[in-house]
Structure 1
Amino acid sequence: MECPNCGYERQPQDSHVMEGVCPNCGIAYVKWKARQEELGTAENQATSLEEPDSFIIEPVLPIWKRVLRRLAAEPEKVDSVSFAGQALIYVAFFFWGWSFILGGIDWQGIGGSFLHSVNLPFHEFGHVLFSPFGRFMMFLGGSLFQVLMPLGLMLAFILQRRDNFAASIMLWWSGQNFIDVSPYIADAKYRSLPLIMGMGEESHDWGNLLRMSGTLDKAQSYAQQWFAIGVILMLISFCWGGWLLYRQFQRLREE
């Protein structure tokens, strides 16, 4: 018999040593094996208890579920002060957003808002940014950059800052920019809106865009579509921000 401990194989001249005992290291084969099995069982139990959850392999979720989980993620730490601040911001943007939604495509209400003056520099920069891509894109670039810039900030808040509430406000801002552009589109046929200093009617973005594309008679329809997109984005931002605040409120109650 070969010793399970030291590997010594019992020889005929080892007859003086009791059967079941290793002549080389002196262990009792049966007792040694029982002891090893006992130690192995205890070690396996301890390992299973100490194994962190990160070692548990979860099934791979579909992309849309992973995206929704990321968009619903809450901050690691929630305190009452930051929650109260976010709640006040939410209420302010909620009522401000509804003032744009209920006002419709009205240049006086939209253009008279101070936010129009905030959007204008981004609009003008869009013309410069897209000018290398031709005259059509130069005219379109102002409105295009105006609505895409807040969406870029939204992605930055989601992916880099991991601040979904701030991202929901950026989505609101993109929706407001769609609404901000809608009176400009509706005015394409008439070119009556005041442009920035030094620019005449020939510089009317949407007047030129729709004339170049032969769709000037559809100006009102396009304006309504841009306005509708803005309303939808705002409503999504309301639901998103409200859900995040509700989850934080639940955590605060539990803590």
Structure 2
Amino acid sequence: MDVSNAFLHGHLHERVYCQQPTGFEDAQRPHDVCLLSRSLYILRQAPRAWFNRFVEHVKTLGFQQSRSDSSLYVITKGSDMAYLLLYVDDMILSAYSTTLLQAVVAQLKQAFAIKDMGPVHYFLGVDVKRTKTSFFLSQSKYALDILEWEGMANCKAVATPIEVKPKTSSLDGALISDGSWYRSMAGALQYLTLTCPDLAYAVQQICLHMHEPRDVHLVALKRVLRYVKGTVNYGLHLHATTTPSLTAYTDAD
């Protein structure tokens, strides 16, 4: 779902004045100012005001804010549950039953100008393909964009994201000329690990050297990009299970 003019819904808790809008000046009092009762997009307070307004409202509906993610809200109605995820003015709503889902949407529309976009297909760079029994999450378009930005759209792919050898020392090689670019690309690859956990270790090694990236680290970063080239269609396959148990594997001591 999408919220129209989201920042205009925010309530201000301090006095904020603005000049009279162009074309609507009072000829009798041209130097007077306007006292705002709602936030505007140009205000620094606008994002926080909107977020607080939204949180206050969904809590009145019975939603509980997640302790691990302040953008996630959960509501329980008997044996039914619904999950709402908010990112600025975009949100995903999922519920155990259609009845609960429609009820929540109706309550949200009473307070905000909300447009129902239907079943989720694409959200924050994540492509969602749905079947009767599963979801497939991937970031193919995002991965291709990263390769295009770096000019590696036609590079030769490699089979592994990192070379099988000891970790590169942070003192090896010369410092690269554009450290900000290195940090930007490392951050972009971090986001790609959302649906590509096979990149997690290699990207972690790249991020260890963001403060002083050297040419050997740049080579490692480009190797990850070459691996991405051959795995742009990889993703996460989520399907239903008969048990609610979660299995995890780790080699940490």
Pairwise same-fold verdict (TM > 0.5): no
Say which structure is richer in strand. 2
Say which structure is richer in helix. 1
TM-score interval for Structure 1 and Structure 2 normalised by the shorter chain: under 0.3
